[in-house]
Amino acid sequence: MIPSDHFVRFYNEVFKFLDAQNGLPAYYEEIGRHQEQHCLKEFREKGLQGVYDYYVKIRKEENCDLDLILNGHELILKMNKCPSLSKALDNDAGACRKYCLHCPGWTGGIYRKAGLYQVYAVMGLDNPQCCEWIYDDLKQAEAKYLELAAVTPADELFISFPRSAPETMKDSETDLQMP
**60 makes contact with other proteins (CB under 8 A):** yes
Shortest distance (Å) from residue 53 CB to other proteins: 15
Minimum separation from the CB atom of position 135 to other proteins (A):
26
- Regarding 171 and contact with other proteins (CB under 8 A), the answer is no
Beta-carbon contacts of 178 under 8 Å, excluding residues fewer than 6 positions away, are: 25, 104, 105, 108, 158, 160
Among 52, 53, 63, 148, which residue interacts with other proteins (rule: CB under 8 A)?
63
- The minimum distance between CB 67 and other proteins, in angstroms, equals 18
Q: Other C-beta atoms within 10 Å of 51: how many?
A: 26
Residue 155 touching other proteins (CB under 8 A): no
Phi, psi of 123 (to 5 degrees): -125, 30
Residue numbers 80-139 binding other proteins by CB under 8 A:
87, 90-94
Work out whether 56 is an interface residue with other proteins (CB under 8 A): no
Q: Are the CB atoms for 114 and 43 separated by under 8 Å?
A: yes
- The whole-angstrom separation of Cα 98 and Cα 112 is 23
Do residues 83 and 62 lie in contact, with contact meaning Cβ atoms separated by under 8 Å?
yes
Handedness of CA 9, 11, 12, 14 (dihedral sign): positive
Query: Does the protein bind other proteins through residue 22 (CB under 8 A)?
Result: no
Tell me which residues touch other proteins (CB under 8 A): 1-11, 13-14, 17, 21, 23, 26-27, 30-31, 34-35, 37-38, 58, 60-63, 87, 90-94
